Structure 1
Amino acid sequence: MSGSEKQLFGLFAHPVGHSLSPVMHNRAFQALGLPYHYHPFDVSPQDLPEAVAGLKALGIKGINVTIPHKERIVPLLDELDPEAKAIGAVNTVVLSKQGRLVGYNTDGAGYVQSLLTETGVNLEQTRVLLLGAGGAAKAIAIYLIKNGCTSVTIANRTEQKAETLANHIRHYANAKNRQETNGPLTSLQVDVLSWTFLEQQGVTDYQLIINTTPVGMWPHVEQTPLALQGLKPGTVVSDIVYNPLCTAFLNNAKQLGATVHQGLGMFIYQGALAFKLFTGYDAPLDVMRQVVLKQLNLSSA
């Protein structure tokens, strides 16, 4: 298998040095014999408009987008895929054959695919606590609801941002329900907690706790987003941070008897979905997983 011409892809992030997307995608291109290259671009928020405009000028065929650009990039694009529009955040941009920049979001689908595959949790019977209210939280919340979840509580250090996300989720769920049943949605419960109240109350009431913040990401590996006060054994505790593979947050949860769900699966699956959008080919999942594990100095054993 081989592409007909050399093509450039990349990642917009700030900072960008921690990301393993370049090594993962370049190894996947190599495995399929594609003459493509994936490059990390450190783009500061104030430079994002110029960087996006440069995609067309330079003929860059596609980029991934991560912190802090997933929401900021939306108004700079020519078109949004319906899922990205519903989420309100983008993690993948493709330069179409018509020369238009089209935004997609593979975060939510990648996360839920990983969660269900690795934990088998029944989302229809699960009360979820979502830590954070950024672009990743938006994508994950939307896909949790798409897969049957009816109870989501959002906690964010800026409470107004959590309220905004809660309203976004309610609007999405109601629109989806009207489309499917021609009636209002009555079963979904979306709550917001202040961070201070959550720390005082503890996490007893939840069966799935998801950290969508970057707290604990390399190099600040000793940090945790929340003390898991009152955690019940058997609770699924999930972290979308994949570097380190097992964060301090997950290590604490494991010591308290939780079932932990690491961020590597989401990273691989969202990357595979982006790879398909970039190239039209199915991604070599095993190859991608192996190269990321190697970079993290781990083995799959």
Structure 2
Amino acid sequence: MTELPRIPLAGVIGHPIAHSRSPALHGHWLRRYGIKGHYIPMDIAPQDLAEALKMLPRLGFVGINVTIPHKEKVLALADVVTDRAALIGAANTLIFRKDGKVHADNTDGAGFMANLRQYAPHWAPNAPVALFGAGGAARAVIAALIEVGVPEIRIANRTRLRAEQLRSDFGAKLVVHDWVHAGEMLRGAGLVINSTSLGMTGKPDLRLPLEELERGAVATDLVYTPLMTQFLIEAQERGAHVVDGLGMLLHQAAPGFERWFGKRPEVDEALRDAVLKA
């Protein structure tokens, strides 16, 4: 009797996970391309992470996305880690290979750049960048900006020590500024990025003096709930070209989907609408 091929399974692990938009995102692509597969959200506690990574491939999973609090810990559990995931110190995409090895990658920086290319195609990496925040998302963004040749990345974080650590990790292109003088970072900056959670629904707004913001500069927020944060609203009022954070989520998902399901998916307005309605 011929054995039927297994239906490929993928998903996202985190703790908690109920808020994730990834199932709506990948579900849209699976339906759009008529692929027999499933994408499942899984709440996995930290103490169960290692066991889950051993079990999921046996259950038919071809890969998973990884979110908080597992993005750093999966690196130690993977067999193969890409250079960019190692540099960033976190993985958001795992591929369960046919040879049994777990392959870890980080597509957040690529997603960030693809979002910029789609919604601010005129931006060029020839002026300083101002970056607020020094968490995992900031690390991915910094790695991507350095790769495309940005000359200087000015960074401020409420805890200065974390920004200093990033300068130590990524080198002299990073210039650390005090949070209280963060407005000065905007002078001459061609791109301004909020990578903090400030401005997210339920959190305080990112309060920045924007007097030094260059007219025509690009302002982007990694927050996407709400789509237009107070920071983006105020930046737009001062003549900046604004890019919301939803596109980064959509673009970072595409490489994983392609590896798991064998189809390079399209990031378009239909996808944005499907995720926003979820």
Alpha-carbon distance between aligned partners in 1 of 2:155 and 2:72, rounded to the nearest angstrom: 18
Question: Which of 165, 189, 208 is residue 227 of structure 1 equivalent to?
Answer: 208
Compared with structure 1, are the counterparts of its residues 147 and 26 closer, same or farther at alpha carbon in structure 2 (3 Å cutoff)? Answer: same
The answer for the alignment partner of 2:139 in structure 1 is 138
Alpha-carbon distance between aligned partners in 2 of 1:214 and 1:63, rounded to the nearest angstrom: 24
Q: Is the Cα contact below 8 Å between 1:31 and 1:284 reproduced in 2?
A: no
Alpha-carbon distance between aligned partners in 1 of 2:25 and 2:277, rounded to the nearest angstrom: 14
The yes-or-no answer on 1:25 pairing with 2:26 is yes
1:21, distance to aligned residue in structure 2 (A):
1.0
The answer for the alignment partner of 1:92 in structure 2 is 93
1:137, distance to aligned residue in structure 2 (A):
1.4
Compared with structure 1, are the counterparts of its residues 98 and 128 closer, same or farther at alpha carbon in structure 2 (3 Å cutoff)? Answer: same
Which runs of 5 or more residues in structure 1 are unaligned?
171-187
Q: Is the Cα contact below 8 Å between 1:20 and 1:292 reproduced in 2?
A: no
Alpha-carbon distance between aligned partners in 1 of 2:27 and 2:277, rounded to the nearest angstrom: 18
The answer for the alignment partner of 1:290 in structure 2 is 270
Q: Is the Cα contact below 8 Å between 1:243 and 1:296 reproduced in 2?
A: no
Question: Which of 190, 207, 223 is residue 241 of structure 1 equivalent to?
Answer: 223
| Letter of the 1:215 counterpart | L
| Letter of the 2:28 counterpart | R
Compared with structure 1, are the counterparts of its residues 83 and 73 closer, same or farther at alpha carbon in structure 2 (3 Å cutoff)? Answer: same
| Letter of the 2:90 counterpart | A
Q: Is the Cα contact below 8 Å between 2:127 and 2:188 reproduced in 1?
A: no
Compared with structure 1, are the counterparts of its residues 68 and 255 closer, same or farther at alpha carbon in structure 2 (3 Å cutoff)? Answer: farther
The answer for the alignment partner of 1:195 in structure 2 is 179
Aligned-pair RMSD on alpha carbons?
2.4
Alpha-carbon distance between aligned partners in 1 of 2:105 and 2:174, rounded to the nearest angstrom: 25
Alpha-carbon distance between aligned partners in 2 of 1:17 and 1:248, rounded to the nearest angstrom: 25
1:43, distance to aligned residue in structure 2 (A):
3.3
Runs of 4 or more, structure 1, over 6 Å off, are none
Which runs of 5 or more residues in structure 2 are unaligned?
none
Q: 1:252-283, CA deviations, whole angstroms, 9 ceiling, x for partnerless residues?
A: 22122221111122222111122112223211
Question: Which of 219, 235, 238 is residue 253 of structure 1 equivalent to?
Answer: 235
Alpha-carbon distance between aligned partners in 2 of 1:193 and 1:45, rounded to the nearest angstrom: 34
| Letter of the 2:258 counterpart | K
Q: 1:162-214, CA deviations, whole angstroms, 9 ceiling, x for partnerless residues?
A: 222222222xxxxxxxxxxxxxxxxx621112323326x46334221111223
Alpha-carbon distance between aligned partners in 2 of 1:295 and 1:86, rounded to the nearest angstrom: 30
SS class of match (1:165): helix
Q: Is the Cα contact below 8 Å between 1:242 and 1:262 reproduced in 2?
A: yes
Compared with structure 1, are the counterparts of its residues 233 and 39 closer, same or farther at alpha carbon in structure 2 (3 Å cutoff)? Answer: same
| Letter of the 1:211 counterpart | N
Alpha-carbon distance between aligned partners in 2 of 1:65 and 1:73, rounded to the nearest angstrom: 8
Q: Is the Cα contact below 8 Å between 1:131 and 1:210 reproduced in 2?
A: yes
Identity fraction in percent: 38
The yes-or-no answer on 1:204 pairing with 2:205 is no
Q: Is the Cα contact below 8 Å between 1:153 and 1:191 reproduced in 2?
A: yes
Q: Is the Cα contact below 8 Å between 1:111 and 1:266 reproduced in 2?
A: yes
Q: Is the Cα contact below 8 Å between 2:177 and 2:185 reproduced in 1?
A: no
Compared with structure 1, are the counterparts of its residues 208 and 297 closer, same or farther at alpha carbon in structure 2 (3 Å cutoff)? Answer: same
SS class of match (1:249): helix
Q: Is the Cα contact below 8 Å between 1:114 and 1:266 reproduced in 2?
A: yes
Q: Is the Cα contact below 8 Å between 2:130 and 2:185 reproduced in 1?
A: no
TM-score in terms of structure 1 length: 0.81
The yes-or-no answer on 1:274 pairing with 2:276 is no
| Letter of the 2:173 counterpart | Q
Q: 1:209-254, CA deviations, whole angstroms, 9 ceiling, x for partnerless residues?
A: 111223333x42x632342432333221111222322222211221
